[in-house]
Amino acid sequence: MKKHFLLLPVLGAALAGCPANSLKTAGSADGKPDILRAALDTTVAPGDDFFSYANGTWIKNNPIPASESNMGIGKKVQDEVYARLRQTSIEAADAKAAAGSNQQKIGDFWAVGMDSVKADKLGATPLKAELDRIAAMKTAADVPGVIAHEIPLGVRALIGPRVGQDDKNSDKMVLYLRQSGLGLPNRDYYFNTDTRTKNIRAEYLKHVANTFKLLGQDEATAKTNADKVMALETALAKSSRKLEALRDPYANYHKMSIAQLNKLTPGIEWKSWLAQMEFTNVDTVIVGQPEFYQTVGQLLKTKPVADWKAYLTWRVAGSFAPTLSSQFVNENFHFYSTVLRGAKEIRPRWKRVLDMQENALGDALGQLFVKEYFKPEAKARYDTLVKNVTTAFAEHIQKLDWMSAPTKVVALDKLHKITPKVGYPDKWKDYSSLKIDRSSLAENVMRANLWDYHYELNKLGKPVDRTEWGMTPQTYNAYYNGSNNEIVLPAAAFAIPGLLDADADDALVYGYAGASTIGHELTHGFDDEGSQYDAHGNLHEWWSKEDRQRFNQRVNGIVKQFNGYTLLDSLHINGKATAGENIADLGGIVIGLDAFKKTKQYKEGKKINGLTPVQRYFLGYALGWQMHVRDESLASQLLTDVHSPAQYRVNGPMADVPAFYEAFGIKPGQKLYRPDSTRVVIW
């Protein structure tokens, strides 16, 4: 699925309209809380740093916990839901529910997950069968068969098969092969020469060696095997594409027959290999990065079996380390959370178990949540909000001075065919074939991964289910799916911690949900990548050549703007990699504002706590990015994420919006001020 995620401060979970007691808020004249006023830092000029002006006091009052790499509104929302998930799980564990029921599965997953004594006693025993299978390999010819066994269990080993809609025929489910198999976040970590990244590489080698030692290897053997892992992964990384290169859908689409794939990778017999992974009757595949698979073929021919044993042992142990004994858990935490993201202490076990449970049984939990926490009146409000923002977008398209009339007709057709999914799905996943028991956390996670693998595998050759959701309703996120031409807006995306939905004024809601979520996702259908898909979700050029050129000129303007933002000494935002998200942020703001201008609150123009409706709208947008992060996490984001850091998701687009200048009196000489001629205008 082609998903463009609205990366809210964390990928967590929450539900709309649920109040929290932990957030102190200023009150308005009618006694209702005003979280926008409470968050302001009026020592900062809006024209110098609107992000800090809007969120500064909240950030000062909400330091980053030692167990986290960031702190933001998403963490507050997530904590509310964690509390409910925890109570639900405890009740399920004590309920003696019917075998095979969702409640039994939730309860057993929770009970064994929380049993740290049992986990410590088991050590790496839950992985014994997989590790023995790897150790039994005699020659490199045995490697593909072992990889075919590990991938369905959730191990990212060497290759990346997945089932998805054909980018050029969205009614057909096909097999994709993507670059994969790295233990570091992406290729840049293997080659960048700055001190920060070089240190991460050194720590990674230690981490891999330490994991081998936990498996019983002596220090010398562990070090030798870690070196083998690094050499093999570096070879894979060398043929992996950079973050920005992965955003070009045409350049990452290479449909091949099995015979052509065999020719691309001499020595690999793909029909047999795919059959081992249960991909039967597959005659064509779509290869994302052919050069990567050429390297895969070369490595399978040239690397000795000892190297593959080291690599696959590491991939299995690393994949499931969080589910094993405390030694494995702590070693995994040290590298992936402390070294990479700066967390000082590990998160409570119950939160980590809830995260795994969400991945395994998300829809089962979702059914319980929406029934109690996402009320019909909240859904009705956001259904209406989607319609209003869509109408405003249509008016924007009609008024564009750079798009020709024929292309506008096609653009409007695509907009009106975008399917909005609001709150929760109409049907839920059936987990009846998934076995969950109290044997071990690792085994439950492996079985859940295998269930999910078969769930996706079974879509091959069948009609596309366009009603399916790719997120659970308790997920604090949203996405645009180009292949379905849809926006998916989970209930949690509308949650405002500390505030009942009924107490949130339209200005706040249109900024927070209308701009940063709904307008943002709608705009993804027309960003640098999404605009290449037509109304039916097919990769197809529906623009005139001249319109595309004019559009690309504007995209180049936003790329240049964000390339100019430097953070953490020499690191800067990757304007090309983040272009789609930056376009969507800017589009969401201007479209959401026009939708808000039709409301009673805007027309009356009354101030609340000294803030005009338009000021509150912009502050509502900034509320969605109310967060701060550790330097280590920020550095990682700049290398691996297509989303700009939160501060620049506010300050960047605001600097391009004339109504923002008017609302806050932005003048030349202030840091955010950009002359008219340099302001980016797209949608």
**Topology of the domain covering 3-85+352-427+467-678:** Collagenase (Catalytic Domain) (3.40.390)
Mean pLDDT, range 413-437, rounded to an integer: 97
Please check the confidence at residue 300 and state whether its pLDDT lies above 90.
yes
**634-646 b/e (C-beta count within 10 Å ≥ 16 → b):** bbbbbbbbbbbbb
CA distances in angstroms from 297 to 178, 279, 316, listed in the order given: 14, 19, 21
What confidence category does residue 20 fall into, taking pLDDT thresholds of 50, 70 and 90?
very low
* pLDDT per position as a tens digit, 250-279: 999 999 999 999 999 999 999 999 999 999
What DSSP letter does each residue of 133-176 carry, written as one string?
HHHT--SGGGHHHHHHHHGGGT---SEEEEEEEETTEEEEEEEE
CA distances in angstroms from 182 to 94, 187, 231, listed in the order given: 40, 8, 11
Q: To 10 degrees, the CA torsion angle through 606, 607, 613, 618?
A: 180
Pick the CATH number of 124-323 from 3.40.50.10860, 1.10.1380.10, 1.25.40.10, 3.30.200.20: 1.10.1380.10
Beta bridge partners of 173: 165
Please check the confidence at residue 23 and state whether its pLDDT lies above 60.
no
The amino acid occupying position 505 is D
* pLDDT at residue 371, as a whole number: 78
Which of 364-378, 475-489, 552-566, 583-597 is the least confident region?
364-378
Q: Where are the domains of the chain?
A: 3-85+352-427+467-678, 124-323
Q: Which helix (H) or strand (E) holds 5?
A: strand 3-5
Please check the confidence at residue 242 and state whether its pLDDT lies above 90.
yes
Beta strand 169-179 with 3-5 is: unpaired
Q: Where are the alpha helices (DSSP H) in 348-421?
A: 349-373, 376-399, 405-416
Q: Across the chain, what does the average pLDDT equal? A: 94
Please check the confidence at residue 29 and state whether its pLDDT lies above 90.
no
**How many residues are listed for the chain in this entry?**
683
Task: Look up residue 137 and give its two tokens.
Answer: 């390999």
Q: Which helix (H) or strand (E) holds 422?
A: strand 419-423
Please check the confidence at residue 140 and state whether its pLDDT lies above 50.
yes
What confidence category does residue 30 fall into, taking pLDDT thresholds of 50, 70 and 90?
low
